[in-house]
Each structure stands twice: as structure tokens, then as C-alpha cells.
Amino acid sequence: MKNKIALEEHFATAETVNDSQEYFGAEAWPERRRQLLDLASERLNKMDACGIAYSILSLNSPAVQSITDTNRAIQVARRANDALAEQVSAYPDRLGAFAALPMQDPDAAVTELRRAVTELGFKGALVNGFSQIDKPENATYYDLPQYRPFWAEVERLHVPFYLHPRNPPTSQQSGYHGHPWLLGPAWAFSMETGLHALRLIGSGLFDEHPHLTVILGHLGELVTTNIWRTSHWASPQGKNPMGVATEQSFIDCFRRNFYVTTSGDFRTIAMRNAMEELGADRVLFATDYPFESMEEACTWFDASEIGERDRERIGRQNAARIFGLRD
């Protein structure tokens, strides 16, 4: 398919690039590092070869979210957003941007989001899970009350919030001990990110702010496959002592407030499941480059067994609609 729009496409700055090193062996790392630091040249050539017309770029993970010194988090986010803005403004027809945000300080996150969207023309924000505030074990999730003014601003600015993976807090990793392969993209990223998404729903955030849009990568970070069971047991109706009092059921909220992307999950059965659960207008194309191969993502997507109208929706039209791009 030509003219695809891709939404989870990462870059790094010199300050954040080393956060991604642990996922690659010594042989692969120099190339990945180069690709993360390259915002335009190699990336644009690959996009041309793969039929991607437009990519929305975001910082690598966990980057800003793992900086315990809040002032430094604010500075690193600002510098990354400025560097990204400079590149994107050189190729406005090909590249867009998601803002990195210093969520350690909700007021600073509002200020940076506002600046990014209204002054730099960014399309929304991409945040790498919980933020560590003052000390590494202080993992802070965004369902907490101090983030409500932040969410009000996201809703007011009418931009999507992409909740992107990071590993669980160290204190929550005992189940992974002896199995380091389960950390990262093989399992822990999705468990952690799905948990965070469910915390947002269960907190009543979307009852309070019904026009919020949250995007999850990796075809919904396991929430999609488990949504009936989660919704069933989380429902306060009936006799369930573990239900939570949200106005909408989890399943309705997931369908109304969330989109999922194909980033790093090139599996037609799983994509079709997401299309069935959410509707084909809530599934979006993404690759997760350079953590995954752009070529593999596109070869898979272009030939996947879905209808051509759905391919156009997922590959381009839905994103064009959400981000106000020319279709």
C-alpha cells in the first residue's frame, strides 16, 4: 500500500539514546544507535522504499520518564522536543512529532504540551509509562488525582496521548527474576502498559473527560485480547466485590476512548481481533522502527489478509482523520 501513515516511529537524542542499548547485542547496537539518532536521511529513504508517506516521530523509552531529577526531566524533554521540531519543520510533508513530556511535574507537563502543540505544531504526546519522581522507586501513574488538570488540558487541546511501554518498576519485577528475556518487548512492556491503561479507565478518568483519546501500541498491549474478562470482572453491577464504579463499562470505554496501533506486532490474526473488538476505524498503522524493521512491518501489513477498504483505513485514513492531515 502506498502513502501509509506510521505512528510509533522512534528517534533519540544524545542524552537519551543509551536507554535503548540493553535491547541490542554489541553487533546490532551501532546500527540501531545510528538509526535512532538519524531523524531524516536514512529514515526518509526507508519510508520511500516502504510506501510510508508520513511518520510521526517520538523519543525512545524510557528517556524522560526515568529521570528522577524533575528539573532535568523538564530540560531533557524541552531539548528533545526542540531538536525534533527542527527536523520536522525541514520535512513538514513527511514528518510529524509527538511531544516528550516531563510528567514528573504535572504543571510542567501541561506547559510543555501546550508549547509543543501550539508553538511547535506537534500532533500530540507520547509518554513512556509511569514517571520516577525524586527517587527511582517512586513510580507515579497518571490515574492519580494530581494529573487531572493535565488530562483536562489534553482534552482541551484535542490531541491524542500515546501511552508507550517501559519496563515495570524494579520493585514489581520479582516474577521476572531468573528470566530476563521476559522483560522488555517479549512480555513485560505489554503487561506494564496494559496495566497503566486499565488504571486510567478504572480511575473514572474517561467519565470525567469523555473526549480524551489514548493510543496504545502493540495492538493494545494485551488489553484487547482480555477486554471481555476485564470488563466482566471490573463491572460494579451484580455481585462482584472487586468491581469499580466507573459510569461506562471498561469495554465501552476501551471502544470509545482508545485507538490501537500495529507497532511491533505484525500478526494478522491479532490485528483482525483488534478490528473486531474496536472497529477498523480504531486501528492504526505503526512500525516501531528502529526497534523493529520498517520493511518487515510494511511487507506484512501490505499483504495481510484484510479487505482493501480496511487496509486504507488502518494504513492511512484513520490517522489522517485523527491528526487532521490531508487525505
Nearest distance in Å: CB 245, ligand GRE? 34
Q: Which residue has the cell 473514572?
A: 204
Compose the 276-295 pattern: x for residues touching ligand GRE by CB under 6 A, - for all others.
------------x--x----
User: Beta strands 131-132 and 139-140: pairing type?
Assistant: antiparallel
Cβ nearer to Zn ion, comparing 56 with 198:
56
281 included as an active-site residue: no
What's the one-letter identity of residue 57?
L
Provide the 8-state DSSP code for 16.
Answer: T
Count of residues in contact with ligand GRE, rule CB under 6 A: 10
Integer angstrom CA distances of residue 277 from 205, 211, 251, 270? 21, 20, 9, 11
Angle at 30 between CA 28 and CA 34, to 5 degrees: 120
Instruction: By CB under 6 A, tell whether 184 contacts ligand GRE.
Output: yes
Helices 41-50 & 29-37 angle (0-180, nearest 10): 100
Minimum CB–partner distance for residue 289 and Zn ion (Å): 9
Ranges within 249-278 binding ligand GRE (CB under 6 A): 264
Range list of β-strands (E), 180-242: 214-216
CA dist 69 and 106 (Å) reads: 14
Collapsed DSSP state (helix, strand, coil) of residue 157? helix
Closer Cβ to Zn ion, 58 or 304, answer by number: 58
Chosen from Zn ion, ligand GRE, none, partner binding at 221 (C-beta under 5 to 8 Å by type): none
d(CA 9, CA 55): 7
315, 301 Cβ separation under 8 angstroms:
yes
Report the partner that residue 51 touches, choosing among ligand GRE, Zn ion, none (CB closer than 5 to 8 A by kind): none
> From its phi and psi, is residue 178 left (phi > 0), alpha (psi between -120 and 50) or beta?
left
Nearer to Zn ion, 8 or 19 (CB): 8
Catalytic residue among 19, 265, 288, 310: 288
Binds ligand GRE (CB under 6 A): choice among 15, 23, 183, 243: 23
Using CB under 6 A, which of 20, 304, 317, 318 touches ligand GRE?
A: 20
CA distances, 259 to each of 161, 206, 221, 323 (Å): 10, 14, 11, 13
List the single partner that 20 binds among ligand GRE, Zn ion, none, CB under 5 to 8 Å by kind.
ligand GRE
| x-marked contacts with ligand GRE along 50-79 as a string, rule CB under 6 A | ----------xx------------------
Position with the least CB separation from ligand GRE = 291
CB of 265 to Zn ion, least distance (A): 11
Q: Which is nearer to ligand GRE, 14 or 245 (CB)?
A: 14
Question: In the bound complex, which residue of the shown chain has the CB atom lying closest to Zn ion?
Answer: 288
Which CB, 128 or 203, lies closer to Zn ion? 128
187 is an interface residue for ligand GRE by CB under 6 A: no
Kindly state the smallest distance separating residue 10's Cβ from ligand GRE, in Å.
6
Contacts of 119 (CB under 8 A, 6+ apart): none
Binding site for Zn ion (CB under 5 A): 8, 288
Residue whose C-alpha is closest to residue 2's, from 70, 49, 43: 49
Identify whether the C-beta of residue 278 lies closer than 8 Å to the C-beta of residue 224: yes
- Please give the residue ranges that form the binding site for ligand GRE (CB under 6 A): 10, 20, 23, 60-61, 184-185, 264, 288, 291
Which residues are marked as active site? 288
